Amino acid sequence: MSEGARPLPEPDLSFLAWSIATGAMVSLGLAKPPDGGEAKVDLGLAKHAIDVLAMLEHKTEGNRTEEETKVLRGLLYDLRMRYVEVSRGPGGA
């Protein structure tokens, strides 16, 4: 580890889910991109990230801890709701 670098979290399913969810939030324009640029909405990319999380939820069924299940389901619910809000645009449908 280089001097001044923060230790990385343990690689686990929750960390992976949060990483993908962060990408979805950036694609929904709700978080700043890592490069510090302007937030831009890309609904296709956001939907893809949400679909990847849903696939992970399905493929890991029966192999997750209770906490991992809570994280995945919570992220999916939140992202799906935010996707609907963003896709309706200002003022809703």
Q: What is the tens place of the pLDDT at every residue in 47-83?
A: 999 999 999 999 999 999 999 999 999 999 999 999 9
Distance CA 89, CA 92 (A): 6
The two structure tokens encoding residue 32? 């700043």
- State if pTM tops 0.75: yes
Per-residue confidence (pLDDT) for residue 80, from 0 to 100: 98
> 7-43: b or e for each residue (b if 16 or more CB lie within 10 Å)?
eeeeeebbebbeebbebbbbbbbeeeeeeeeeeeeee
Q: Which pLDDT score is estimated for 36?
A: 84
* pLDDT on residue 1: 53
Task: Pick the range with the lowest mean pLDDT from 38-42, 62-66, 82-86.
Answer: 38-42
